């Protein structure tokens, strides 16, 4: 399949965005509030340094989970386990720092990234292994692994790695060497205050690099070719010397590793510790991100930006509105997915009525 | 011992409703990741309407309607729009997780829970548990002994054959899924107005997924699915007992016990059934 | 034939296009009551399309169908069924997990609520007796042989009291003996007043069993004739539009040297023994045919040879190497090629482009890579050479595989599998569902490969194909090789007999 940025690929998300924004405005009106809140919220997510900083901060994990879902999709697999995998990746960094708190940056940073990759990857690999060896459906297995992973991580946050000096459910702080620079650190060097006090950090670039690597891997290497072939037609792939099981394990491992990187953004990039419930369902939003981008790794950068903005905007709406909660972002996401997913139906309906009109 | 048995039955009831709804839906050829979401919206509807009207029966009717409607969204997306069944299921779960706190805040001021329903206005949990235990046998008779059931099975295992016999498999699926939504709705009624006295945010807590696994473990047959729901109910009941009774002087950390049903489910799934055969048309 | 009465069924000027392809153009012919009416043509001639229009599965762009002289629009299969039209599709439309009787009553259940099994059974037993069917009503359809499944399809139509029975390629999967009894049955049905429309590409069936025949070519009707005026040559010429040129044979000059040796191959599955004690060899420059009715172990044998099924007893040795010791990708690079039986499911990846399909199975080779990356510029000349050499149309390698006809897709598959030096070729149903031009091209290519020393194992359910190409023929029945013939000793009758387990 050739993925290109055709007109349709751009128009559909825009229509979806417009429709879902209208629905939310309607909601606001019904609640007796002004829909201008929506406009206000969304301009603030892009058009000032503070809002943009937060939008980009939310974009970072969504690029990663979007890639995680998309990669498995190309192999015909559905990785719903991103949420669990990113928890594992995050706690791995905390654990590493607890064992080696005083590592210098040049060791701590790559090792931190590596353990996030490895532990996220292991959580994905388990699903891949069961899929390959026992034929268990990856959707169910990854859902269960989500529950188990999150409970496990919450336990680790509350007991072994707990910061006993505070009441909140959070871990001790990681060592200084693990801390990644914020983008505002760079702008300050240049004498500007852009991005100041926002959490966007260099993990953003890491995730963009990951997207580019995923693109090259999927569309320009033999292994990527094998994976896409497997996803489109596993039987034909098998008849042509492509190992099904081994590739399933590989893909889900890589997919888990990408989700694991979310931990880098959260722990090394901003909070410098792990807080219970830190992920506002980045994993599930990743499904929407991948869907809108039609699983194209580069498109995912853009669709993650869109969802990052929605997420940031929803927080803004909660702040501005008396009655709306931040769940408005979930509803907006859901509406966008529904519109994109049912696009063939509406296209059919539309072309039919046009045809009949012509007669 | 008796206590454990009763507790097992109580904890199995919502699983049975959800799994039986899943049975109808998956047998008609559509995957149902969305059991969780349907359970959640119907639980919300039951609690809210019961609180507002002071009638558990109106609350139950509202839950059936809302459950049926939530499932209908899934049905529309998968059957009419031919969207991916898993994606559609995830969306329904997202909508449920987003809409329920939003509407709760709108009506009750706080997104976390609805107001408590007085005990006199709650639904009888015994009645619902009895219904849940009879349901699998009723559905068995309906699906395996009637003409309608024959069409349902054909929609799941050979939709093309059904179509060429002059019956629309789309219609069969829409009906089956709407009915499934209502069955799951009963589970929602149980959760928020019989088992508890109010709706709380994310109160389903993964029961929809466990019900789905029970369905797979029961190989998409109503009676074995019923039995596996009881099994998962037992796992949950044991978990609660272990929380309050230390064994060998140790209390387990609560997280270990929380994870227990999921770990059991996972082991059961990968260890004992391996390659179970779903209805042939699922996912297409 | 009573030509004076008005025809039962009339197609007038029916047209139907799919995208840019005209599947039917101005199709006009009529069918008379109580006859067996053949519709014959090559694959892609539009036979199935016109019948699906009659059965309400497609809506025609133009044209009218008249039933008993009255124009009758048929919009859904349901309407067709209520008008007494029934169809047995080429791929049977049965629910495998349901029993025979459940399949028969599906869509016309005596009650939507509880079904009185005893009365249904009684009714069906009578129907069975009346028309001489043998199928067991309580068995699950997935356990039945294809022949019996076809009986279920016919019973389904009779249960619904259909008067017009459409049969789409009904003999494609049957043994010669089963074919005979099918036509016996069809004659009885005709005597009972039913009208039968038989779609086929097999000329002998038309000549032996029909009263009338409509010949189609490229979406149009060439002619409708009474069968008794026809001979096989005339029919063939009208069907393909020109005379067919015979295959060019090459000099035989092979010294027997075994390329592939299969010894005591046995495959046990939970559902029972699938292959037992199969031994044979294929020599360089030899075509070995495996005849047999589908479902007698062909699929399992293919999977063992392709290295997909690896848990078998016995040995498969290719060029003195046990194939289980070699990675199946590497095996392909060593000259072990496979044309899988089911083109769309097993041989090509439809959403991929032609050029992406052309490298499948050789996608790791250095010659198409630049370091880590696949190179478009290195792939292009290889693919365009394949397209030129095998005359694949359209010639644009960037088009999606879906845009090719079956024949052209298959030519690309054959090109991919044989463009590199090939020592052994497993060709399973290599010409199924493609037009005569492509069939001849592929057969000619096989003979060429053979003359260059390739050993070919040809697995096919088309006896004509086996007889035309093979040097030796093995017969597979119930997972065993039950008979062997050489080119000289083989004949259709004896082969057919041993295919059903009979002894010669």
Q: Where are the domains of chain A?
A: 7-353
Q: Identify the closest residue of chain C to A226 by CA–CA distance.
A: C363
Percentage of residues in chain B with pLDDT exceeding 70? 94
C62 in Cβ contact with C15 (< 8 Å): yes
From residue A194, how far is each of A60, A154, A208, B272 by CA, in Å?
A: 18, 35, 21, 57
Q: Are residues C144 and C215 in the same domain?
A: yes
Report helix, strand or coil for A203.
helix
**Exposed, middle or buried, B97 (CB in 10 Å: 0-12/13-18/19+)?**
buried
Q: Are residues C266 and C319 in the same domain?
A: yes
Q: Does C109 touch chain B (CB under 8 A)?
A: yes
Q: Which of the two residues, C151 and A113, has the higher pLDDT score?
A: A113
Q: Identify the closest residue of chain B to A130 by CA–CA distance.
A: B270
pLDDT the model gives residue B246: 66
Q: Are residues C407 and C457 in the same domain?
A: no
| Number of domains, chain C | 3
| CA-CA-CA-CA dihedral for A228, A232, A235, A236, to nearest 10 | -70
Name the residue range of residue C211's domain.
9-240
**Could you tell me which residues of chain B have a Cβ less than 8 Å from any Cβ in chain A?**
33, 73, 76-77, 80-84, 86-88, 90-91, 93-95, 97-99, 101-102, 105-106, 111, 206, 209, 212-213, 216, 253, 255-256, 258-259, 262-263, 265-266, 269-271, 274-275
Residue-averaged pLDDT of chain A: 89
pLDDT the model gives residue A220: 94
Cβ neighbours of C113 in B, within 8 Å: 146-148
Q: Are residues C189 and C304 in the same domain?
A: no
Q: Does C349 touch chain A (CB under 8 A)?
A: yes
pLDDT the model gives residue B42: 96
pLDDT in single tens digits along all 504 residues of chain C: 445 577 888 898 989 887 777 788 898 888 998 899 999 888 778 888 889 899 988 888 888 898 888 888 888 888 899 899 999 988 888 998 899 999 998 988 888 888 888 888 898 888 888 887 888 888 898 888 778 888 899 899 889 888 999 998 888 777 777 888 889 889 988 988 899 999 887 888 888 889 999 988 888 888 888 888 888 888 888 888 877 777 777 766 656 788 999 999 998 876 666 888 999 999 998 999 999 887 788 889 999 999 888 889 999 999 888 998 888 899 999 999 999 988 888 999 999 999 999 999 999 988 888 888 998 889 999 999 999 988 888 888 888 888 887 888 999 999 999 998 999 999 999 988 787 888 888 999 999 999 988 999 999 888 888 999 999 999 998 889 999 999 888 888 888 888 877 765
Restricting to A residues 315-354, those with a Cβ less than 8 Å away from any Cβ of B are: 323-325, 327-331, 333-334, 337-338, 341-346
Within a domain: C263: yes
Cβ neighbours of A242 in C, within 8 Å: 329
Q: Identify the closest residue of chain B to A156 by CA–CA distance.
A: B255
Stated pTM of the model: 0.87
Pick the CATH number of A7-353 from 1.20.1070, 3.30.60, 2.60.120, 1.10.3470: 1.10.3470
Place of tokens 């002004």: A34
pLDDT the model gives residue B249: 61
Among the ranges A241-245, B262-266, C7-11, C134-138, which has the highest mean pLDDT value?
A: A241-245
- CA B161, CA C349: separation in Å to the nearest integer? 26
Place of tokens 């939709």: B159
Q: Which of the two residues, B116 and A89, has the higher pLDDT score?
A: A89
B283 has a pLDDT exceeding 80: no
Q: Identify the closest residue of chain A to B274 by CA–CA distance.
A: A134
Q: Are residues C416 and C426 in the same domain?
A: no
**Could you tell me which residues of chain A have a Cβ less than 8 Å from any Cβ in chain C?**
1-2, 216, 220-222, 225-226, 228-229, 232-233, 235-243
**Exposed, middle or buried, A40 (CB in 10 Å: 0-12/13-18/19+)?**
middle
pLDDT the model gives residue C252: 66
Each domain of chain B, given as residue ranges in start order, spans 2-272
Q: How far is B101 from chain A (nearest CA, A)?
A: 7
Q: Are residues C323 and C410 in the same domain?
A: no
Cβ neighbours of A327 in B, within 8 Å: 97-99, 101-102, 111
Within a domain: C345: no
Percentage of residues in chain B with pLDDT exceeding 90? 46
CATH for the stretch B2-272: 1.10.3470.10
Q: Do A341 and B77 touch (CB under 8 A)?
A: yes
Q: Are residues C79 and C55 in the same domain?
A: yes
Q: Identify the closest residue of chain B to A289 by CA–CA distance.
A: B87
Q: Tokens standing for C91? A: 């791929």
Restricting to A residues 6-35, those with a Cβ less than 8 Å away from any Cβ of B are: 31
C364 in Cβ contact with C330 (< 8 Å): no
Q: Do B161 and C103 touch (CB under 8 A)?
A: yes
Q: What is the pLDDT of residues B55-109, one digit of tens each?
A: 889 999 999 999 999 999 999 999 988 888 888 998 899 889 888 988 898 888 8
**CATH no. for residue C85?**
3.40.50.300
Within a domain: C343: no
Q: Are residues C426 and C416 in the same domain?
A: no
Number of Cβ pairs < 8 A linking chain A and chain B: 118
Interface test with B, best of A32, A160, A252, A330 (most B CBs within 10 A): A330
Residue B263 φ/ψ, nearest 5 degrees: -65, -45
Q: Does B249 touch chain C (CB under 8 A)?
A: no
A46 has a pLDDT exceeding 90: no
The length of chain A in residues reads: 359
- CA C429, CA C435: separation in Å to the nearest integer? 14
Q: Are residues C286 and C370 in the same domain?
A: no
Domain stop point among C364, C386, C420: C420
Partner residue facing C106 (CB), from B145, B146, B165: B165
Q: Does C334 touch chain A (CB under 8 A)?
A: no
- CA A301, CA A204: separation in Å to the nearest integer? 10
Q: Tokens standing for B6? A: 């009763």
Cβ neighbours of B271 in A, within 8 Å: 134
Q: Do C93 and B164 touch (CB under 8 A)?
A: yes
List chains touching B (3+ CB pairs under 8 A): A, C
Q: Are residues C416 and C439 in the same domain?
A: no
What value does the mean pLDDT take over residues B175-202? Answer: 92
Can you state the percent helix, strand and coil of chain B, rounding each to 5? 75, 0, 20
Q: Are residues C401 and C469 in the same domain?
A: no
| Band of pLDDT at residue A358, cut at 50, 70 and 90 | very low
Q: Do A232 and C369 touch (CB under 8 A)?
A: no
Q: Which of A59-63, A68-72, C483-487 has the lowest mean pLDDT?
A: C483-487
- CA C285, CA C403: separation in Å to the nearest integer? 35
Q: Do C346 and A239 touch (CB under 8 A)?
A: yes
Q: Are residues C208 and C267 in the same domain?
A: no
Among the ranges A245-259, B146-160, C401-415, which has the highest mean pLDDT value?
A: A245-259
pLDDT the model gives residue A105: 93
Within a domain: C250: no
Domain stop point among C420, C453, C475: C420
Q: Does C152 touch chain B (CB under 8 A)?
A: no
Peptide bond into C462 cis (omega under 30): no
């Amino acid at each position: 399949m050739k993925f290109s940025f055709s007109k349709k690929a751009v128009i559909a998300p825009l229509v979806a965005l417009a429709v879902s924004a209208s629905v939310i405005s309607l909601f606001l009106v019904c609640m007796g509030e002004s829909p201008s809140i929506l406009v206000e919220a969304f301009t603030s997510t892009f058009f000032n340094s503070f809002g943009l900083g937060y939008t980009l901060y939310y974009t970072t994990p969504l690029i990663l989970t979007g890639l995680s879902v998309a990669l498995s999709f190309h192999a015909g697999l559905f990785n719903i386990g991103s949420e669990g995998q990113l928890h594992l990746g995050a706690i791995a960094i905390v654990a590493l720092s607890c064992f080696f708190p005083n590592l210098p940056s040049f060791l701590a940073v790559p090792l931190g990234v590596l353990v996030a990759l490895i532990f996220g990857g292991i959580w994905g690999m388990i699903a891949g292994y069961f899929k390959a060896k026992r034929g268990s459906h990856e959707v169910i297995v990854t859902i269960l692994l989500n529950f188990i992973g999150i409970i496990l991580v919450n336990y680790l946050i509350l007991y072994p790695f707990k910061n006993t000096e505070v009441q909140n459910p959070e871990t001790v702080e990681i060592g200084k060497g693990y801390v990644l620079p914020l983008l505002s650190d760079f702008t300050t060097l240049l004498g500007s205050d852009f991005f100041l006090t926002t959490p966007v950090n260099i993990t953003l670039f890491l995730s963009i690099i990951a997207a580019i690597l995923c693109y090259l891997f999927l569309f320009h290497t033999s292994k990527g070719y094998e994976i896409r072939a497997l996803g489109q037609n596993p039987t034909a792939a098998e008849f042509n010397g492509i190992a099904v099981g081994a590739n399933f394990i590989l893909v889900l491992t890589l997919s888990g590793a990408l989700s694991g990187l979310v931990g880098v953004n959260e722990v090394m990039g901003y909070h410098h510790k792990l807080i219970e419930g830190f992920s506002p369902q980045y994993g599930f939003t990743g499904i929407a991100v991948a869907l809108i981008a039609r699983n194209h790794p580069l498109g995912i950068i853009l669709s993650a930006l869109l969802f990052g903005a929605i997420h940031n905007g929803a927080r803004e709406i909660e702040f501005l509105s008396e009655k709306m909660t931040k769940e408005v972002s979930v509803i907006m996401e859901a509406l966008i997915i529904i519109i994109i997913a049912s696009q063939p139906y509406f296209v059919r309906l539309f072309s039919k009525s046009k045809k009949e009109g012509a007669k | 011992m008796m206590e454990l048995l009763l507790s097992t039955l109580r904890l199995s009831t919502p699983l049975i409703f959800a799994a039986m709804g899943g049975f109808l839906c998956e047998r008609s050829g559509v995957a149902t990741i969305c059991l969780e979401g349907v359970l959640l919206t119907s639980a919300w509807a039951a609690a809210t309407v019961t609180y507002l009207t002071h009638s558990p029966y109106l609350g139950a009717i509202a839950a059936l309607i809302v459950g049926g409607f939530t499932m209908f969204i899934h049905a529309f997306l998968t059957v009419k729009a031919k969207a991916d069944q898993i994606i559609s299921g995830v969306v329904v779960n997202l909508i449920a997780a987003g809409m329920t706190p939003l509407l709760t805040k709108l009506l009750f001021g706080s997104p976390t829970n609805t107001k408590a329903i007085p005990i006199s206005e709650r639904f009888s949990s015994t009645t619902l548990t009895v219904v849940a235990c009879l349901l699998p046998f009723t559905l068995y008779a309906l699906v395996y002994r009637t003409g309608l059931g024959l069409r349902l099975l054909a929609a799941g295992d050979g939709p093309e054959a059904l179509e060429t016999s002059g019956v629309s498999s789309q219609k069969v699926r829409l009906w089956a899924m709407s009915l499934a939504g209502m069955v799951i709705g009963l589970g929602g009624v149980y959760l928020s107005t019989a088992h508890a006295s109010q709706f709380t945010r994310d109160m389903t807590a993964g029961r929809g997924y466990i019900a789905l696994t029970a369905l797979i473990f029961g190989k998409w047959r109503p009676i074995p699915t019923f039995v596996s729901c009881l099994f998962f109910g037992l796992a949950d009941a044991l978990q609660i007992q272990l929380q309050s009774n230390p064994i060998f002087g140790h209390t387990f950390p609560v997280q270990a016990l929380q994870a227990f049903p999921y770990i059991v489910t996972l082991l059961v799934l990968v260890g004992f059934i391996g390659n179970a055969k779903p209805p042939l048309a699922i996912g297409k | 034939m009573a030509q004076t009465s008005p025809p039962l069924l009339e197609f007038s000027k029916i047209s139907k296009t799919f995208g840019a392809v005209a599947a039917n153009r101005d199709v006009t012919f009529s069918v008379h009551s109580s006859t067996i009416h053949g519709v014959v043509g090559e694959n892609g001639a539009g036979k199935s399309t016109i019948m699906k229009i009659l059965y309400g599965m497609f809506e025609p762009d133009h044209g009218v169908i008249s039933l008993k002289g009255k124009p009758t629009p048929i919009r859904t299969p349901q309407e067709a069924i209520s008008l007494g039209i029934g169809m047995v599709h080429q791929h049977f439309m049965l629910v495998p997990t349901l029993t025979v009787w459940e399949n028969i009553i599906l869509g016309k259940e005596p009650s939507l609520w509880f079904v009185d099994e005893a009365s249904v059974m009684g009714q069906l037993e009578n129907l069975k007796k009346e028309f001489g069917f043998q199928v067991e009503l309580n068995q699950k359809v997935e356990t039945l042989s294809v022949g019996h499944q076809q009986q279920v399809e016919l019973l389904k139509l009779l249960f619904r009291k259909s008067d017009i029975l459409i049969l789409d390629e009904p003999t494609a999967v049957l043994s010669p003996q089963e074919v005979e009894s099918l036509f016996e049955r069809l004659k009885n049905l005709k005597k009972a007043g039913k009208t039968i429309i038989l779609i086929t590409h097999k000329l002998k069936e038309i000549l032996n069993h029909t009263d009338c025949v409509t010949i189609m070519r490229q979406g149009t009707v060439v002619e409708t004739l009474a069968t008794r005026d026809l001979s096989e040559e005339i029919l063939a010429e009208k069907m393909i539009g020109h005379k067919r040129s015979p295959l060019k044979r090459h000099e035989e000059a092979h010294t027997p040297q075994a390329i592939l040796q299969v010894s005591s191959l046995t495959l046990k599955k939970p559902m029972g023994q699938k292959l037992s004690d199969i031994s044979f060899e294929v020599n360089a420059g030899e075509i070995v045919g495996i005849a047999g009715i589908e479902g007698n172990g062909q699929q399992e044998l293919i999977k063992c040879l392709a290295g997909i099924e690896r848990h078998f007893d016995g040995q498969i040795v290719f060029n003195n190497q046990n194939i289980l010791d070699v990675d199946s990708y590497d095996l392909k690079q060593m000259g072990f090629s496979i044309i899988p039986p089911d083109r769309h499911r097993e041989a090509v990846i439809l959403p991929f482009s032609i050029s992406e399909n052309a490298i499948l199975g050789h996608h790791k080779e250095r010659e198409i890579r630049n370091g880590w990356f696949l190179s478009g510029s290195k792939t292009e000349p290889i693919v365009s050479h394949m397209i030129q050499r095998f005359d694949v149309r359209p010639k644009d390698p960037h088009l999606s595989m879906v845009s090719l006809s079956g024949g052209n897709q298959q030519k690309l598959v054959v090109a991919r599998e044989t463009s590199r030096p090939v020592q052994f070729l497993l060709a399973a149903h290599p010409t199924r569902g493609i037009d005569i031009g492509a069939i001849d091209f592929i057969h000619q290519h096989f003979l060429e490969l053979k003359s260059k020393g390739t050993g070919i194992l040809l697995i096919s359910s088309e006896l004509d194909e086996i007889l035309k190409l093979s040097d030796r023929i093995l017969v597979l029945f119930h997972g065993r090789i039950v008979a062997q013939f050489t080119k000289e000793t083989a004949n259709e009758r004896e082969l057919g007999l041993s295919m059903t387990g009979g002894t010669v």
